[in-house]
Amino acid sequence: MIRAFGIRSGLLAEPAPGQRHAATGRNLVRFHTKRGNLMRNFIGVAVLVCMISTLGLAQEPSKPEVYGGYQFTSTDGGWHASGWNTAANMYITRWLGATADFSGVYHSGSNLYTYTFGPVVSTHKNSFSPYAHALFGGAHTAGGGISDSGVAMLFGGGADFGKRKLVFRAVQFDWMVLRFSGVTDKNNMRVNTGILYRF
């Protein structure tokens, strides 16, 4: 009686009674051989991935950085303010690190402070270093005798110029999301420029 056993095994008919045990033995040998080859290939790929990951982590991390400069902020309600921004960067690899960012802006008796943290990615290539970050944390605003605290999220980046310890941050632009008293405002932005110090 003809019966398909499996296309992968190449057996399309059931063997005769006298050949059944021999065929089963050969099939088991083929199965274990293929399984062994598959395991060797899997281990080889795993070792290759680990080697590539180790090489990436083996690169010397970039030096810590401290930034300070001027900040201009514009909010959705038409409030425009000027102030300061400072940040510190610590790198895990040459291009991936973490940022702690603090800022304060003031106008017409009102103020806005942000304190955020998050990942930063930078190329650190030659004298031109573009970067991008995503920062999450808190915000505090006050004006007219009323104050409120909430959530701040900043998404943006910029470009640094210079190869020495003192580097010029030409521009940093961030899209800023603020949430106060359960109300989220997404149409805010800030622009920075200043000096970066690399240790």
Q: Binning pLDDT at 50, 70 and 90, where does residue 61 land? A: confident
Average pLDDT over residues 187-198: 96
In a domain, 154, yes or no: yes
Residue 53 has pLDDT above 50, yes or no: no
Residue 186 has pLDDT above 50, yes or no: yes
Looking at residue 77, what is its pLDDT? 86
Looking at the fold, whether 38 and 88 belong to one and the same domain comes out as no
Choose one of 58, 73, 107: the last residue of a domain: 58
Pair 111, 105: CB distance under 8 Å: yes
In a domain, 99, yes or no: yes
Looking at the fold, whether 91 and 169 belong to one and the same domain comes out as yes
Q: Binning pLDDT at 50, 70 and 90, where does residue 6 land? A: very low
Looking at the fold, whether 106 and 158 belong to one and the same domain comes out as yes
Average pLDDT over residues 136-145: 96
Choose one of 58, 83, 107: the last residue of a domain: 58
Residue 9 has pLDDT above 50, yes or no: no
Q: Binning pLDDT at 50, 70 and 90, where does residue 100 land? A: very high
Looking at the fold, whether 151 and 191 belong to one and the same domain comes out as yes
**Greater pLDDT, 90 or 37:** 90
Q: Binning pLDDT at 50, 70 and 90, where does residue 52 land? A: very low
**Does the pTM of the predicted model rise above 0.75?**
no
Helices (H) and strands (E) in the chain, counts: 1, 8
Work out the burial of residue 41: count CB atoms within 10 Å of its CB; fewer than 13 is exposed, 13-18 middle, 19 or more buried. Answer: exposed
Neighbours of 113 (CB within 10 A): 17
- Exposure pattern of 163-194 as b/e (b: 16+ CB <10 Å)? eeeebebeebebebbbeeeeeeeeebebbbeb
Which domain does 115 fall in, by range?
A: 65-198
In a domain, 3, yes or no: no
Looking at residue 12, what is its pLDDT? 30
Looking at residue 62, what is its pLDDT? 82
